[in-house]
Structure 1
Amino acid sequence: MRRLWTSFRTRLIVGAAIWIIAGLTLSGVLLSELFRAHVTQQFDDELHGHAAELAALIDIAPDGKLSLHRRLSDPRFLPKDSGFYWRVEAASGQAITSLSLAGRDLALPDPPPALGVERHVFIDGPSGQLRLVERSVANPHGPPLRLGIGVEQRLLDEVLGRFNWTLFLSLAIVAFGLIGAAMLQVWFGLRPLTRMRHALSAVRMGKASRLPDDLPSEVRPLAIDLNALLEGNLEILRRARTQAGNLAHALKTPLAILTDEAEQLRAKGQREAAEVIELQCERMRRQIDYQLARARAVALKRSPGVAADVRSSLDPVVAALSRLYARRDVSFIVTYQDQPTVALDAQDLSEIFGNVLDNAGKWARSRTEVLVRRWDDFAEIIVDDDGPGLPPQTYECVFGLGERLDERTPGHGLGLAIVRDLVELYDGRVALDVAPLGGLRVILTFPAIRE
């Protein structure tokens, strides 16, 4: 949940949704209340009109008998239980009622209103609460008459309920439409950032060297600064490679001269002096190769866009070593459970594979197996051979610079030392174990890059 709130898109959409829902809810409440006030006033105005019409239609006989000249113009006072009722009564108790009452009583509240005064009251009607307008009418033959005319509250509530349901559906549709529009606006507005993220991912994976220039003005300055940073790093990397090459040339040329001098001393019979010079030259050469490889890896690790496809680096190494060790009938079998991309320079990755597989090929009797797989954010390459293997107590020794456990096997004791340093410089790990084939297992773990 916390990770979700780190997204600009989520924050903008949720913020817009909250404001939209809150605004429409407040608008809905206000509209509902305004409509309630309007409909209530409309019902009351109708009742006032009906009361005035009813008062004008009353006919009082000399003997005090009550009647109407004609029926009310509104037909809703005719059907039984229509919800519209009226009653006119004299002080003597004589009364006439609407047909909708169907002979039932409609008790008017006491005391009666003053002559010429109208009042609104709520009373119990035949089938629910009744909204009643009551007034007193002059009687030329005696005390004033009372009349009451009303409508059941349920009819008003039904009108309000239908309106509120329609209002809710309408506002819900508007809310969904506005939230959808907000999502579209956020998606469209943040699209340049998404494009920039993909461009940075391409740079990180080595598929591009710079960010595009055709970005909106709001993010173009950031892209320009990042491109300047990338170009500066590349320039530093080029200079480092050039200086490393110059240093290697400057050191290896004197070493070659010293080696030639050692051969001349051996030819003159000074065998011991020649061996000392050759031994020291070999040590210097190992140190130069080791330190140059390490310095190059450090420079590449700090530069953006360093990425390598495991299969593209592994297959050429396997093909070359298969031909090299074919005369000993040593086969190399590679299994790809995944094909990850790792955060290493391709040349360094090939050098790591070359050293590890060459070491496995030297000691294998007939078979070397390689397994490539991925778990979480790491790529794992497992190399097994069916050779004699190593005692577990010697695992750490083989990573020492110049360490060789068997002098009869060709080599300089430099491969695994370089392998571990290169792997660890790229935040990876290398471990040794007993292989199921009986020989040595080398486990290489590298940070993988997500596509």
Structure 2
Amino acid sequence: MVKLIPRSLAGRLRLAAAASIIVALLLAGIAIALILQRFVISQIDQRLDGQIFAVATALQRGGDGKMTVTSMLNGPPFDRPGSGWTWQVSGPDGELVSASLSGHPAMKPPPVHSGHFDNFPGLPKWFDALGSLGRPSPADGPGVDGQPLHWRILAVPFGTGTVTVAATAPYRAIYGPLRDALVPLVLALVVLGLLLFGAMLAQVRLGLRPLAGLRTGLADIRAGRQTAISTNQPSEILPLVDEVNSLLADNAEGLARARRHVANLAHGLKTPLAALGLAMERQPDNAAGVTIRAQLDLMGRLIRHHLARARAAVLAGPARASTKVAERLADLTGMMGNIHRERGLSFHVNVADVAVATETQDFDEIVGNLLDNACKWARSRVTVTASAAGGRITIDIDDDGPGLDPAAMPEAMRPGRRIDEATAGHGFGLPIAAELTELYGGSLELLRVAGGGLRARVILPQSR
């Protein structure tokens, strides 16, 4: 079933405003039409009443004792046969008719208040009262040719009796001018409606603009460009903004506390390990001492590894972080060049202006481990490229070393496994980089480079 009410606020406001405008214009049109109709009928009634009073005043008896009036009362439009504009006098002594009824007897007056007025309770008595005050009463009925006429009827004393003086006007005299007035009125209402619709659309757009600004502010916070929403908001939205900013502040404080706890844990574990390391340096360099020192070093790497995982997990929303890839790669390649200076390596970096949705220290941990591994195996050259596609950033770190057999690549990703014992290291660089990458919803894979060498490909979410 199709829902008539839109889901969006803008759609609901537009629908409500459009319905209100249409109803208001319809009611206004009907009211204006009724007022115009009342005005036109009133003008017609005044003309007919004037004719009735003129006939009643001019009514007299001729030399033969019959009723007569002056011919001046047959001026336009009462002189045109079939026009519907008529007057007539009927009584016990005979009848008189206007020139427009020439050749026709006087029409039988319809009942007073007939036609439209019968539908209004109480009006007949009111019109009877008007007649008793000497004012003509309204009526509606057909003429001699069947055309509908609007009547005005008045009983006038004449001699010792009473005669009925009536005047009529055709309905076209009422609805013709009314139609001529209503056509431009309808056009004006249509134009007014269009203007109101345009104003309504502009008002809805302007009124909802703060919500669009609020959405932009939230997107900036999620992308790491802002830490809070601007409080320059309308009074209706400001309480919501204050609540959101308070929630963000509480989350930031919780993150800071968690990081402090992580730092305290690091210091608490590293200090005993450092003391054990110093104690082992004083011990004889025998097989047991070498084993213990190796285990201490392994424990130190494991601590750093799991602290990195805890740091990433505490973020609980890495999309809020943002790290510029080009800036960090410039620093990391410079640092690796200094560390491996004796090898005379060259670094070639081709990176687009992109950012990844990771914390800076975690990005340094991931890419730093991969660059260090590439520098250890490269003969003379390390190449770094980065590109964006589909909301993901792909970073390729290539070396021109001997490469790695595809069968050995899964083994190289396991913690503590070293493919070549002759090269310095502990076998934790690649696993740590892989796990940190996965924590951010990314991936790390090893590939062979055409012509030899190894490629470490990191895919991370792009910062919004």
Using the size of structure 1 for normalisation, the TM-score is: 0.74
Matched, 1:21 2:21: no
What residue is the counterpart of 2:250 in the other structure?
Answer: 228
Residues 87 and 98 in structure 2, CA contact (< 8 A), matched pair in contact too: yes
Whole-angstrom distance in 2 between the partners of 1:291 and 1:238? 15
**How do 1:16-415 residues align onto structure 2 when only pairs under 5 Å count?**
16-56=13-53, 68-69=71-72, 77=77, 86-87=85-86, 96-97=99-100, 113=110, 118-121=138-141, 132-134=149-151, 148-152=168-172, 153-187=175-209, 190=211, 194=214, 198=217, 218-219=239-240, 220-261=242-283, 264-266=284-286, 272-300=287-315, 306-324=321-339, 328=343, 330-340=345-355, 342-415=356-429
Offset of residue 242 of structure 1: 2.3
TM-aligned CA distance change 1:162 to 1:106, over 3 Å:
farther
Whole-angstrom distance in 1 between the partners of 2:165 and 2:291? 140
Deviations 1:301-321 (A, max 9, x none): 579964322222221012233
TM-aligned CA distance change 1:434 to 1:158, over 3 Å:
farther
Matched, 1:435 2:449: yes
Deviations 1:398-423 (A, max 9, x none): 11112122223332222101101111
Residues 301 and 426 in structure 1, CA contact (< 8 A), matched pair in contact too: no
TM-aligned CA distance change 1:277 to 1:226, over 3 Å:
closer
Whole-angstrom distance in 2 between the partners of 1:88 and 1:252? 126
Whole-angstrom distance in 2 between the partners of 1:107 and 1:421? 112
Query: In percent, how many aligned pairs have the same letter?
Result: 23
Offset of residue 338 of structure 1: 3.5
RMSD over aligned CA atoms reads: 4.5
Whole-angstrom distance in 2 between the partners of 1:124 and 1:111? 10
Whole-angstrom distance in 1 between the partners of 2:320 and 2:348? 31
Offset of residue 234 of structure 1: 0.6
Whole-angstrom distance in 2 between the partners of 1:247 and 1:87? 118
Offset of residue 233 of structure 1: 2.6
SS at match of 2:462: strand
TM-aligned CA distance change 1:315 to 1:431, over 3 Å:
same
Structure 1 segments unaligned to the other structure (5+ residues)? 99-104, 267-271
Offset of residue 201 of structure 1: 5.7
Please say which of residues 172-181 and 367-376 is displaced more in the overlay. 172-181
Equivalent AA in structure 1 for residue 437 of structure 2: V
Whole-angstrom distance in 1 between the partners of 2:455 and 2:143? 95
Deviations 1:177-227 (A, max 9, x none): 355345434445x58x829x73x6666555666777898672435534542
Deviations 1:22-78 (A, max 9, x none): 222222222211122221222222222222333455689989999741576xx8x59
Offset of residue 434 of structure 1: 3.1
SS at match of 2:99: strand
What residue is the counterpart of 1:101 in the other structure?
Answer: none
Equivalent AA in structure 1 for residue 463 of structure 2: I
What residue is the counterpart of 2:120 in the other structure?
Answer: none
Deviations 1:384-408 (A, max 9, x none): 3333332333221111112122223
Whole-angstrom distance in 2 between the partners of 1:109 and 1:428? 103
Equivalent AA in structure 1 for residue 187 of structure 2: W
Residues 396 and 456 in structure 2, CA contact (< 8 A), matched pair in contact too: yes
Whole-angstrom distance in 1 between the partners of 2:409 and 2:457? 12
Residues 354 and 462 in structure 2, CA contact (< 8 A), matched pair in contact too: no
TM-aligned CA distance change 1:122 to 1:337, over 3 Å:
farther
What residue is the counterpart of 2:463 in the other structure?
Answer: 449
Residues 14 and 201 in structure 2, CA contact (< 8 A), matched pair in contact too: yes
SS at match of 1:218: helix
Using the size of structure 2 for normalisation, the TM-score is: 0.72
Equivalent AA in structure 2 for residue 180 of structure 1: A
TM-aligned CA distance change 1:94 to 1:185, over 3 Å:
closer
Structure 2 segments unaligned to the other structure (5+ residues)? 113-135
Deviations 1:92-123 (A, max 9, x none): 9986349xxxxxx9999986536987532578
Whole-angstrom distance in 2 between the partners of 1:161 and 1:372? 69
Tell me the number of residue pairs that the alignment of Structure 1 and Structure 2 aligns.
Answer: 416
TM-aligned CA distance change 1:124 to 1:89, over 3 Å:
closer
Whole-angstrom distance in 2 between the partners of 1:71 and 1:326? 125
Residues 255 and 315 in structure 2, CA contact (< 8 A), matched pair in contact too: no
Whole-angstrom distance in 1 between the partners of 2:104 and 2:414? 111
Equivalent AA in structure 1 for residue 178 of structure 2: L
Whole-angstrom distance in 2 between the partners of 1:164 and 1:281? 93
Residues 270 and 300 in structure 2, CA contact (< 8 A), matched pair in contact too: no
Equivalent AA in structure 1 for residue 322 of structure 2: A
Equivalent AA in structure 2 for residue 251 of structure 1: L
Deviations 1:315-362 (A, max 9, x none): 10122334555655543222223412x332211211211111222233
Residues 16 and 179 in structure 1, CA contact (< 8 A), matched pair in contact too: no
Whole-angstrom distance in 1 between the partners of 2:267 and 2:317? 19
What residue is the counterpart of 1:102 in the other structure?
Answer: none
Deviations 1:125-150 (A, max 9, x none): 9xxx976314679999xx98975322
Residues 140 and 150 in structure 2, CA contact (< 8 A), matched pair in contact too: yes
Equivalent AA in structure 2 for residue 133 of structure 1: H
